[in-house]
Amino acid sequence: MNILLHNFKTINKTNIEAILINNKTISNIGSFHLLKKIATNPEIIDLNGNLLLPAFTDAHTHFVETAKQQLTCNVLNCKTDDDFYEKLIEYRDNYHNMLNNLGCTSPPLWIKGYGWEKKDFDNFHSINKHLIDKVFPDIPVSIASRDLHSNLCNSKALEIIGKVSESYNIQIGKFTNGEPNGYLYENSWTILDKFIPALDEKLLKKLVCELIKKAQKFGLCGVHSIEDIKAAKLVRELVSEVDFYFTWYYLGTEMLDTDRENFRSIGIKLFADGSLGSDSACLFENKPNTPIFTSEQMKTIIEAHQKSIQISIHAIGDYAVYATANMFKELNKKYGYKLKHRIEHLQAVRPEDINLLKEANIHASMQAVHIKNDAELICKKWKTASRYSYPIRSVSDVVEMALGSDAPVETLNPFEGIRYATNRDVFLPHEAISMQDAINAYTYKHHIIANQPITYGMLEVGQIANLIVVKDDILNTTETEMTIINGKIVS
d(CA 76, CA 376): 17
Final residue in a domain of this structure, among 195, 223, 257: 195
CA distance between the termini of the chain: 17
Region 294-311: mean pLDDT is 97
- Residue with more model confidence, 180 or 215: 215
Give just the sign of the alpha carbon dihedral 70, 72, 76, 80: positive
**Tell me: the pLDDT tens digits for 265-288?**
999 999 999 899 888 899 999 898
Q: For residue 81, is pLDDT > 60? A: yes
Tell me, yes or no, whether 50 lies in a domain: no
What does the alpha-carbon distance between residue 332 and residue 305 come to, in Å, rounded to a whole number?
9
- Residue 8, domain member (yes or no): no
Average pLDDT score over residue span 191-220: 91
Query: For residues 56 and 491, is the Cβ–Cβ distance under 8 A?
Result: no
What are 410-440's pLDDT values in tens digits?
999 999 999 999 999 999 999 999 999 999 9
Question: CB-side exposure of 427: number of CA atoms within 13 Å?
Answer: 27
Predicted pLDDT of residue 181: 92
Range in 7-21, 217-231, 232-246 with the lowest mean pLDDT: 7-21
Residue 91 lies in a domain: no
Q: Which of 148, 166, 195 is the last residue of a domain?
A: 195
Task: Say if 33 falls within a structural domain.
Answer: no
Who contacts 105 (Cβ-Cβ below 8 Å, separation ≥6)?
A: none
Strand intervals (E) in 346-400: 363-366
pLDDT tens across 466-477, in order? 999 999 899 999
Q: Which residues make beta-bridge pairs with 112?
A: 142
The pLDDT, as a whole number, for residue 390 is 98
For residue 126, give the 3-state DSSP assignment: helix
Residues 6+ apart with CB under 8 A from 180: 129, 158, 172, 173, 174
Residue 169 confidence class, pLDDT cut points 50, 70, 90 = low
More confident of the two residues 196 and 357 = 357
Question: What pLDDT sits at residue 120?
Answer: 80
Provide the whole-model pTM. 0.89
Query: For the chain, how many helices (H) and strands (E)?
Result: 16, 22
- Do 220 and 176 have their domain in common? no
In this structure, the answer to whether residues 287 and 231 fall within a common structural domain is yes
Give the structural domain span for 170: 109-195
Question: Is 60 a domain residue?
Answer: no
Measured CA angle at 384 (ends 381, 390), to 5 deg: 80
In a domain, 51, yes or no: no
How big is the chain by its Cα radius of gyration, in Å?
A: 23
**Residue 146: which pLDDT band, with cuts at 50, 70 and 90?**
confident
**377 shares a domain with 359:** yes
**Average pLDDT of the residues in 193-211:** 89
Tens digits of residue pLDDT in 233-255: 999 999 999 999 999 999 999 99
Based on the fold, state whether residues 187 and 218 are members of the same structural domain: no
- Assigned domain for 456 exists: yes
Q: HSE (CB half, 13 Å, CA atoms) of 360?
A: 25
Of 44, 46, 50, the C-alpha closest to 11 is: 50
Whether the pLDDT of residue 338 is over 70: the answer is yes
Report the run of H or E that residue 189 belongs to, with start and end: helix 189-195
pLDDT at 126: 83
Residue 167 has pLDDT above 60, yes or no: no
* Same domain assignment for residues 264 and 348: yes
Q: Are residues 344 and 360 in the same domain?
A: yes
pLDDT tens for residues 445-458? 999 999 999 999 99
Q: Are 289 and 263 in contact (CB under 8 A)?
A: no
CATH number at residue 280: 3.20.20.140
Average pLDDT (202-217) is 94
Q: Which residue has the higher pLDDT, 18 or 98?
A: 18
Domain count within the chain: 2
What is the distance between the alpha carbons of residues 173 and 150, in angstroms, rounded to a whole number? Answer: 10
| Residue with more model confidence, 196 or 132 | 132
Among the candidates 140, 175, 195, a domain finishes at: 195
Asked whether residue 209 falls in the same domain as residue 172, the answer is no
Q: For residues 365 and 342, is the Cβ–Cβ distance under 8 A? A: yes
pLDDT at 95 over 90: no
Tell me: do 257 and 378 sit in the same domain: yes
Residue 152: its pLDDT value, please? 93
Q: pLDDT by residue (tens digit) across 367-404?
A: 999 999 899 999 999 999 999 999 999 999 999 999 99
Q: Supply the CATH number for residue 156's domain.
A: 3.10.310.70
Q: Is 367 a member of any domain? A: yes
171 with 226, same domain? no
Q: Residues 46-64: what's their mean pLDDT? A: 97
Residue 70: closest CA among 108, 38, 123: 108
The answer on 242 and 131 residing in a single domain is no
Q: How confident is the model at residue 168 (pLDDT cuts 50, 70, 90)?
A: low
User: In the beta sheet, which residues pair with residue 289?
Assistant: none
Characterize the bridge pairing of strands 363-366 and 342-345: parallel
Residues 186 and 335 both lie in one domain: no
Structural contact between residues 67 and 25, judged by C-beta atoms closer than 8 angstroms: no
44 close to 428: Cβ distance less than 8 angstroms: no
Q: Are residues 180 and 115 in the same domain?
A: yes
